[in-house]
């Protein structure tokens, strides 16, 4: 199987594993102090892909972890193992995609056999079991990062019975990590206490752990406290001024592609767009600036709102087709239905020197929005298919789209079906 460059961030995206190099302000593991014995940069798969197989690299890391009693080194080995599992899974996905296209990653026309796929799956399962077992031992000895990482694995259904999420196992681990100063551990413990995941609901304790995480600069905790204070949630009295202060602190620290971080920017932007008497001054320019920062962090609602602002000249933004299309595209790439449909409108008319007019692209974006459940896009697909705009005429398919739109209350579609 073809190797893919080692990437802990890919492990996070495929499995929800926290990266060992992530900032503690996000929902991830803060990196432990550098360990001299773990300095094996020459073994990184990206540097040695042509010389070392996964097995050889893993064995070198495994031997290094076994010959030391340093829990930080053993923990990093577990993180590396999980990354290798993600790497194998990623390679398998590429192989399947290539096979479906009649190609192969190694240049041959032979897709991986069922036996090869089975062996790869068994290898992944064995590696996960090895990592979980070592993480369990480290957590039992009170290693804080291992407690958090293991808890996070359990919430992803990794190392659990039949791959089911297990908050009963995860919550005590988050609690231990949180009590020992782990920002993300405190945040996750608070979430469990707020929602009753793996424990009974206890809003008072949840707020306590949110505050503990916020003091440790956890942006997600600041964001949650901000919304709770603004809306009077989680047993807190409604204190808009305090809520805005929390959101402002969260927005100041937001710098990662992470939903709570970008959402803090978005929520604060909405507050400044309208203003709150004696609490938040109205400032559309500042609101647009906050939305732009959130859009840079790939937050779809912010990107979509900016797309509207530059299309129609809202919030003090000039009408600018290029910027409108740019921001709609950011949101559409995150499967934002309204943004996809907004691109339909742009492709129908085009923009000289910026976007060529294309009925085909207009239909395809409308179809994507429709498949994401947007009723007006479903109606549009019905009309496009009925008339033959950007696609072939098909009365039966048009009726199917009209029925879907009508089922969601679209009056135009309901009228067409009468």
pLDDT of 83 > 70? The answer is yes
**Tokens, residue 18:** 């926290």
Read off the pLDDT of each residue in 248-270 and give the average, rounded to a whole number.
89
pLDDT above 70 covers a percentage of the chain that reads 83
pTM summary value: 0.76
pLDDT in tens, 364-397: 999 999 999 999 999 999 999 999 999 999 999 9
Q: How much is the pLDDT for 87?
A: 79
Which pLDDT score is estimated for 60?
84
Residue 33 has pLDDT above 60, yes or no: no
Task: Give the Cα separation of 341 and 186 in Å (integer).
Answer: 40
Neighbours of 306 (CB within 10 A): 26
- List of residues 6+ apart from 412 with CB closer than 8 A: 379, 405
Look up residue 53 and give its DSSP letter.
-
SS3 276: strand
Paired with 276 in beta bridges are 280
**Residue 102 Ramachandran class (φ > 0 left, ψ -120 to 50 alpha, else beta):** left
Q: Backbone dihedral region of 227: left (phi > 0), alpha (psi from -120 to 50 degrees) or beta?
A: alpha
**Averaged pLDDT for residues 151-163:** 94
pLDDT of 13: 32
CA angle 71-257-81, nearest 5°? 30
pLDDT band for position 103 (50/70/90)?
low
Residues 198-209: what's their mean pLDDT? 98
Rounded to the nearest integer, the mean pLDDT of the chain is: 85
CB 138 within 8 A of CB 75: yes
Tell which residue, 361, 23, 360, 210, has the closest CA to residue 12.
23
The pLDDT of residue 18 is above 60: no
The torsion defined by the Cα of 258, 259, 261 and 265, in degrees rounded to 10, comes to 130
Which of the residue ranges 2-11, 43-52, 59-68, 87-96 would you say has the lowest mean pLDDT?
2-11
Q: Are 251 and 216 spatial neighbours (Cβ–Cβ below 8 Å)?
A: no
* CA 373 – CA 357 distance, rounded (Å): 25
Q: pLDDT band for 116, please (50, 70, 90 cuts).
A: confident
Residue with tokens 């988050």: 174
Asked if the model's pLDDT at residue 363 lies above 80, the reply is yes
Q: Which of 25-29, 36-40, 361-365 ranks highest by mean pLDDT?
A: 361-365
Residue 349: per-residue pLDDT: 97
Tell me the CA distances in angstroms from 213 to 240, 265, 368, 398, one per residue in order.
21, 19, 39, 52
Q: How confident is the model at residue 29, as a pLDDT?
A: 37
Rounded Cα distance, 385 and 395, in Å: 7
Tokens of 401: 């789209």
The residue ranges of every structural domain in the chain are 1-165
Q: In angstroms, rounded to a whole number, what is the distance separating the alpha carbons of residues 239 and 222?
A: 14
Residues 6+ apart with CB under 8 A from 166: 154, 155, 157, 160, 198
Range in 4-13, 289-298, 308-317, 331-340 with the lowest mean pLDDT: 4-13
Of 43-52, 62-71, 313-322, the one with minimum mean pLDDT is 43-52
């Amino acid at each position: 199987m073809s190797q893919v460059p080692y990437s802990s961030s890919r492990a996070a995206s495929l499995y929800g594993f926290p990266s060992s190099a992530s900032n503690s302000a996000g929902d991830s593991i803060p990196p432990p102090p550098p360990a001299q014995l773990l300095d094996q940069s020459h073994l990184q798969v990206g540097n040695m892909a042509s010389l070392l197989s996964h097995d050889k690299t893993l064995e070198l890391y495994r031997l290094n972890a076994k010959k030391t009693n340093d829990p930080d080194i053993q923990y990093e080995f577990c993180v590396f193992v999980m990354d290798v599992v993600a790497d194998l899974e990623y390679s398998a996905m590429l192989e399947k995609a290539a096979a479906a296209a009649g190609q192969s990653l190694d240049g041959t026309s032979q897709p991986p056999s069922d036996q090869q796929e089975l062996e790869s799956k068994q290898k992944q399962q064995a590696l996960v079991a090895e990592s979980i077992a070592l993480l369990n031992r480290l957590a039992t000895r009170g290693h804080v990062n291992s407690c958090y990482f293991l808890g996070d694995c359990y919430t992803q259904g990794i190392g659990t019975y039949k791959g089911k999420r297990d908050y009963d196992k995860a919550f005590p681990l988050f609690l231990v990590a949180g009590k020992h100063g782990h920002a993300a551990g405190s945040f996750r413990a608070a979430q469990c206490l707020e929602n009753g995941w793996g424990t009974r609901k206890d809003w008072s304790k949840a707020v306590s752990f949110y505050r503990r995480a916020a003091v440790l600069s956890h942006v997600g905790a600041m964001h949650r406290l901000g919304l709770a204070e603004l809306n009077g949630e989680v047993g807190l009295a409604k204190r808009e001024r305090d809520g805005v202060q929390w959101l402002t602190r969260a927005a100041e620290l937001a710098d990662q592609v992470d939903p709570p971080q970008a959402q803090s920017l978005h929520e604060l932007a909405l507050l400044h767009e309208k203003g709150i008497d004696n609490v938040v001054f109205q400032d559309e320019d500042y609101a647009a600036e906050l939305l732009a920062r959130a859009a840079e962090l790939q937050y779809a609602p912010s990107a979509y709102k900016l797309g509207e602002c530059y299309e129609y000249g809202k919030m003090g933004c000039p009408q600018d087709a290029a910027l409108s299309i740019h921001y709609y595209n950011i949101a559409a790439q995150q499967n934002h239905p309204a943004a996809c449909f907004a691109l339909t409108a742009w492709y129908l008319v085009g923009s000289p020197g910026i976007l060529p007019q294309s009925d085909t692209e207009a239909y395809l974006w409308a179809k994507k929005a429709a498949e994401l459940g947007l009723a007006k896009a479903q109606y549009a697909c019905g009309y496009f298919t009925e008339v033959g705009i950007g696609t072939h005429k098909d009365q039966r398919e048009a009726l199917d789209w009209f029925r879907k739109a009508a089922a969601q209350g679209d009056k135009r579609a309901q009228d067409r079906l009468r």
